[in-house]
Structure 1
Amino acid sequence: MATVQRATGLLRRSLGIAPPTVQRALSTSPAAAAAPAEGGAEAAAAKESKRRKKKNLFDVVQFLPSWGVGYKVAKTTWRDVSYQITKINLYKDGRHGKAWGIRYKAGEQASEVPTKISGVNKRGWKYIKESQKKVQDTSKVETPVAA
């Protein structure tokens, strides 16, 4: 019975006899189904739900003095590991390259010799804010005042 009704409905629509049907929303969200005529509301919801693109190491340090040499950075997924940048080699585009640094684990220096930092071109890097204070403090201590 249902297939017969469906077939007659298709026939009526193809001949133009059937009344115009309301277009269904393709989205499964309740907001889109409730207000299919409002395109502005859907666009605003899409902008809000869009996530920020994560940054690679060079995107993070490009605004720091000397491209972040002397500052600490870490991947967002790392728990207690960070690197204090000692050297950066940039490619011509300024968004890719190589970096070396001193490794820190749980806030303590883990190695004396700078090592190559792996994964610098991958996304998900963050700048550790407290490292800026330490760099500025050490520059003030190094310049003693002669009395």
Structure 2
Amino acid sequence: MAMAQRAMGLLRRSFGLTAPPAQRALSTSAAAPRRRVRWQQQRRWRRRKRRKKKNLFDVVQFLPGWGVGYKVAKTTWRDVSYQITKINLYKDGRHGKAWGIRYKAGVQAADAPIRISGVNKRGWKYIKESQKKLQEAPKVETPAVAA
């Protein structure tokens, strides 16, 4: 019996044969504090929201030549950095492989470039001193060709 009444009620609702639901009494005094609380919660959420950390390719994409010749390091590393020598990008431009010369405490640790591990993981930073060293390097002047 209860099943039949329930089925009949669902059928009436689906065809719109039931009376419209009762209107709720809206009070302006009760709604104002709710809006204020919601706004404060949104403000707190925006403050807590942090920027997503970048992988190596997100960091070097705006550097000339995709950062070849520049130094990068993970934010958690203390004294280790890499000077990028080669980058192999996948089609999407956000993933790939990278090779570089390893530096420890500012001193070159290896002569040959090695593959940099963890380039697709987040938390990479660009070391600004490497740009200064590249700019201060003496420029090679090409001799003028006599015509």
Number of aligned positions between the proteins: 110
| The structure with more radius of gyration | 2
Structure 1: unaligned runs, 5 residues or longer = 1-34
Deviation at 1:143, TM superposition (A): 1.7
Identity of aligned residues (%): 72
Report the 3-state secondary structure (helix = DSSP H, G, I; strand = E; otherwise coil) of the residue aligned with 2:110: coil
SS at match of 2:42: helix
Matched residue, 2:75 = 76
1:86 aligned counterpart, secondary structure: strand
- 1:132 aligned residue: 131
**Corresponding residue number in structure 2 for 1:101:** 100
Runs of 4+ with >2 A deviation: none
Give me the whole-angstrom Cα distance separating, in 1, the residues matched to 2:34 and 2:76. Answer: 40
- Normalised by the length of structure 2, the TM-score is 0.71
Q: Which stretch shifts more, 96-105 or 129-138? A: 129-138
Residue type at the aligned position of 1:143: V
The aligned residue for residue 123 of structure 1 is 122
CA distance in 2 between counterparts of 1:113 and 1:36 reads 64
Q: What amino acid does structure 1 have at the position aligned with 2:112?
A: V
Q: How far is 1:52 from its partner?
A: 1.1
Tell me by how many angstroms 1:68 deviates. Answer: 0.3
Instruction: Give, in whole Å, the separation in 2 of the partners of 1:37 and 1:72.
Output: 49
Alignment of 1:86-97 (within 5 A): 86-97=85-96
2:140 aligned residue: 143
Partner deviation per Cα, 1:48-68 (whole Å, 9 max, x = no partner):
111111100000000000000
Aligned match of 1:64: 63
